[in-house]
Amino acid sequence: MTSSIKDFNKKTLLLVLGILIAIGPLTIDVYLPAFLQMSKSFNVEASKVQLTLSVYFLGIVLGQIFYGPIIDRFGKKPPLIFGLSLFIISSVLCFFAKNIEQIIILRFFQAIGGCASIVVSRAIVRDIYSLQQSAQAFSNLILVMGLAPIVAPFIGNLILQKFDWKMIFLFLAFYGLICFFLAIFKVPETGGFKKEEKIRDAFKKYWTILGDDNFLINALCGSTMMACLMSYMTASPFLYLEFFQTSTTFYSALFSLNAIGFIALAQINGILLRKNKVENILNKLIYIPLVIGCCLVLTAFFKQQLFLTTSLIFILISICGAINPNTSALSLANQGKYTGSASALFGTIQFVTATIFSLLINFFHDGTAKPICLILGSCGILCFIIKKIFGEKFIEKKRNKKLLKQNSAVNILN
């Protein structure tokens, strides 16, 4: 029997939503160890295998925009079940692919299918929780989804030791199947079919949502932190394996340590939210990326030291775990009417911003750690500027509107 919004357990639901959201990072990281084998298997250059990752990111960006108005029209479960079905089919077809071109195409559809879990899960949290509770919920979700980047490479390596690389895609299909049954039996419908919502009004909805200063400021603030995280993932192999010439064991341990820091700060944020307002916590946390960002920018102009650079990056990555849940909750706070579209637009802004900064690191690559320090540091500084400077202007604008309404009311009474 399908769960309804009245009879589900919130703790169980958060675990389920975490498993659903984890499909994104898991699908990215689990097959990274297989790049070399895939290159040899299809007799192509590694750069062509890299396209399977690039096209996956493109699919996530376009897929989220695609699902937004559909979720507002048809509810949460039908798009979720459709997306997971597409993910499973694409994953199985990847197993039977005959050439790298087929894998590239299928990875795009795999992303379109998998990103339904991301959009729907975020929208469900907005539907059933208050602002304060949703920030706590997003912090708890990070605990589940944050484990994916840690365990995924190990799962990929384990599969490669026993089987051919194609078995990784069967593993993803199996994971998708688990998510499929969880979606049917454990995810409640928090929206339902709305006849008045029209798919053709999608761009009008997105434009309306962008007109909400609260949404835009917090979405961009969180996006700079996501850009920091993604840029680090893009640049870290060069930074540690080539520039600092560390061992692969050291690099793997460091990658895991950063992921643990990210998860730990998210849980600390959840504890702080029990007694403090989400806005107050964010306004205090926002100074950390500013300070660390400035330090990283300064280190770019000196000889980079392994311990100092690593420590600064660790703090910056970890603080993402505390800032992102709060910006997610605040962004969606005013979007009760279009939760699907707002969730989709929020995710798209995050991935587009992250992609831009990741590309900047590659564009300015000069064989040193300087571009990495500059760009990661800039992400932290921008996070502060967007929230504190533009955010203060938004608060002032809101206050002036309120005063104007009060004055108008007084004039009418007089």
Instruction: Say if residue 306's pLDDT is above 60.
Output: yes
- In this structure, the dihedral spanned by the alpha carbons of residues 179, 184, 185 and 189, taken in order and rounded to 10 degrees, is 110
**405: which residues sit within 8 A by CB, 6+ positions away?**
none
Please determine, for residue 3, whether its predicted confidence score (pLDDT) is greater than 80.
Answer: no
Instruction: Kindly report the average pLDDT of the chain as a whole number.
Output: 86
Q: Which domains does the chain have, with CATH numbers?
A: 8-189 (1.20.1250.20), 201-406 (1.20.1250.20)
Top pLDDT among 106 and 149 is at 106
Q: Distance (Å, rounded) from C-alpha 340 to C-alpha 382?
A: 27
* pTM (two decimals): 0.83
- Contact partners, residue 36, CB within 8 Å, separation at least 6: 46
Confidence tier at 104 by pLDDT (50, 70, 90): very high
* 51-60, 165-174, 344-353: which is most confident: 165-174
Lowest mean pLDDT among 113-127, 159-173, 193-207: 193-207
Mean pLDDT of 35-62: 85
